[in-house]
Structure 1
Amino acid sequence: MTHIASKDIHITCADQCKLAASIFHPKGELKGAVMIGPATGIKRQFYGNFARYLAEHGYGVITFDNRGIGGSLHGHVKQSDVTLQCWGEKDMPAVLQQLQKSFPDCRYHLIGHSAGGQLVGLMPNANELSSMFNFASSSGCLRNMKLHHQVKAHFFMNFFIPVTNRLFGYTKSHWVGMGEPLPKKVAKQWQTWCNGSGYVKMAFGTSVHKHLYHHLELPAMWLNATDDFIANDKNVADMLKVFTQMSAQTKTLNARDYNLNEIGHMKFFSQKSKQLWPYATKWLDEH
């Protein structure tokens, strides 16, 4: 197996915010370049093995921490003024520009995990992507979940988030295994969007005034798993309705079909699920 080394870099956004990122250079012919859009509160290191796999198969890759998360948190999280929306409007466009600079004259792709795929329509340069491959990206609408899952989701969204925001000035999501601590405005916006239908659609005409959700026509694959109560089939369909022009394919994976104990919302990117990763490289090779 080819050894793929990564290099830590910083990406400067248009508003001068600096993002921590890692870049993976393939050896041999460059097939294309990929930015991996992380899930809410998930650091870039989580995607390291998957990024190396893509690089082994000829793709340049950039992973990154959204502002307010991991290496892109500047100061204490309770002082952060970051919103979920600015990840799509400011962070992701800057990462795509860095991807184009680092790997010129090739095709560019987004592999989105949860929020990393949902927010693509906020990118003003999203039309420069050749394709998108998402895992566990959906509206996260609470009412589309089974009742016993709704109870857990309502507890986190409508009790835990507002209470910890009020008590600590940020959301202690790490206390309940939900990634890194979240800036309060990120968590508040996440709460609002998941309580409605269409996720970011909840903000159209209020905080979101410019977007490409009604214009993106890029080919896209949306994968989810049967044991993911968040990105279930109903919520994937709910999110896809926001992309009115997108040419999207969907596929639902069952862990038992691959002799895996679970896939859920996170485990697609785990080394233990490496047998699933050819879904991504096959898509990239074809687009």
Structure 2
Amino acid sequence: MSLQNVKQITITCSDGESLAASVYQPTSTVKGAVMMAPATGIKRLFYASFANYLANNDYGVITFDNRGIGGSSTGPIAQNAASLQCWGEKDMPAVLECLQQIFPQTKYHLMGHSAGGQLIGLMHNAMDISSMFNFACSSGQLTNMKLAYLVQAHFFMNFFIPLSNAMFGHTKSQWLGMGEPLPKSVAKQWQQWCNGQGYVKTAFGKTVHQHCYNELTLPSLWVNAVDDDIANNANVADMMSVFPKLNGQTLTLTPSEHGLSEIGHMKFFSSKSQALWPLALDWLDKH
């Protein structure tokens, strides 16, 4: 796709916060529109090649940076009040509304990477979404991780996050190769939710008082990889259990079966993993 078909825009949320976003416009008739919801601390640029691929196959796409991340980070990060919860309650609904305005009268799909799929039930307009394709989306529950990785996860969640927040007023997750620096409340909720069962379910009745996890029935495909230490099968099942009525299917990928050396938690969207992308396109075409 040529660059003139990618447009940089600003999306304004209901509370006035601004998000940096990119719109990928197909050159032919639009089959549907896709909201590419990112993993925790991952910038929209990471998904550019994948979004390009979808647009070249006639799907309109919006990628975006959650508040406090990348182009949506304004001012000192230590003063940023963003949380995982407001990403789901404020950011994602605004992006979907923008997608509907730019690509009217079509079907709307969520492509969720990790947190991007976890937070859908916090969206007040989630019922407008026709289908969901998730990759590496799970509860991230620490107790379901294998011992070798569990040590690393406990260190990051239960030592590094509290220490970094106390010392710097935010989490320097980039020091450990965990994406962009995270606003304090984002990291704190991430820690709390991964230490419980069902991720966001741990906040029901505490900070989360309204949600639609119990109502969502949309068709969904939950894809993970055998070499993902975080979104293992047990954690995918744990996250899916938060959606009691969801029409969900699962698919576990083995890298060697697709000519790849690794997939893990991040590599599905890498341009080196284009052999996997027809899985997403086939899902969209069927829904």
TMscore range, shorter length: over 0.9
Tell me the residue number matched to 1:108. Answer: 108
Indicate the larger mover: 149-158 or 3-12: 3-12
User: Where does residue 3 of structure 1 map in the other structure?
Assistant: 2
Show the counterpart of 1:13: 13
List aligned pairs for 1:82-231, cutoff 5 A.
82-231=82-231
How many angstroms does 1:42 deviate by? 0.2
CA shift, 1:98, in A, is 0.1
Q: 1:41-64 CA deviation, whole Å, 9 max, x = no partner?
A: 000000000000000000000000
Question: In the aligned structure 2, how far is the partner of 1:259 from the partner of 1:277?
Answer: 13
Larger deviation: 58-67 or 4-13? 4-13
Query: The residue matched to 2:88 in structure 1 has which SS?
Result: helix
- Structure 1 distance, partners of 2:97, 2:18, is 14
Give the aligned residue type for 1:45. Answer: L
2: CA distance between counterparts of 1:176 and 1:259? 28
Partner of 2:280: 280
TM, length-normalised to structure 1? 0.99
Specify the code of the residue in structure 1 equivalent to 2:53.
Y
Kindly state the Cα deviation for residue 29 of structure 1 after the two structures are TM-superposed: 1.1
Measure the CA separation in 2 of the matches of 1:116 and 1:68. 15
What amino acid maps onto 2:186 in structure 1? V
Measured in 1, the distance between the counterparts of 2:200 and 2:229 equals 19
Paired position in structure 1 for 2:59: 59
1:40 matched to which residue of 2? 40
Unmatched segments (≥5 aa) in structure 1: none
Take 2:182 and 2:131, find their aligned partners in 1: how far apart are those partners?
29
| Matching residue's letter, 1:42 | I
CA-CA distance at 1:70 after TM superposition:
0.4
Match of 1:257 in 2: 257
Q: Distance in 1 between matches of 2:140 and 2:64?
A: 23
The answer for unaligned runs of 5 or more in structure 2 is none
Task: Spell out, residue by residue over 1:236-258, the C-alpha distance to the aligned partner (whole angstroms, 9 max, x if none).
Answer: 00000000000000000000111
Q: Report what 1:267 is aligned to.
A: 267
Q: What secondary structure does 2:120 align onto?
A: helix
Partner-residue secondary structure (3-state), 1:277? helix
Give distance in 2, aligned partners of 1:87 and 1:3: 30
- Identity over aligned pairs, percent: 64
Rounded Cα–Cα distance in structure 2 between residues aligned with 1:244 and 1:210: 16
**Counterpart Cα distance in 2 of 1:262 and 1:207:** 37
SS of residue paired to 2:119: helix
Q: What CA deviation, in whole Å up to 9, does each residue of 1:104-146 have, x standing for no partner?
A: 0000000000000000000000000000000000000000000
SS of corresponding position for 2:2: coil
Q: CA deviation at 1:261?
A: 1.1
Shift of 1:3: 3.4
Structure 2 counterpart of 1:53, which letter?
Answer: Y
> Please, what TM-score do these two structures have when normalized by structure 2?
0.99
- Count of equivalent residues: 286
Q: Compute the RMSD of aligned alpha carbons.
A: 0.6
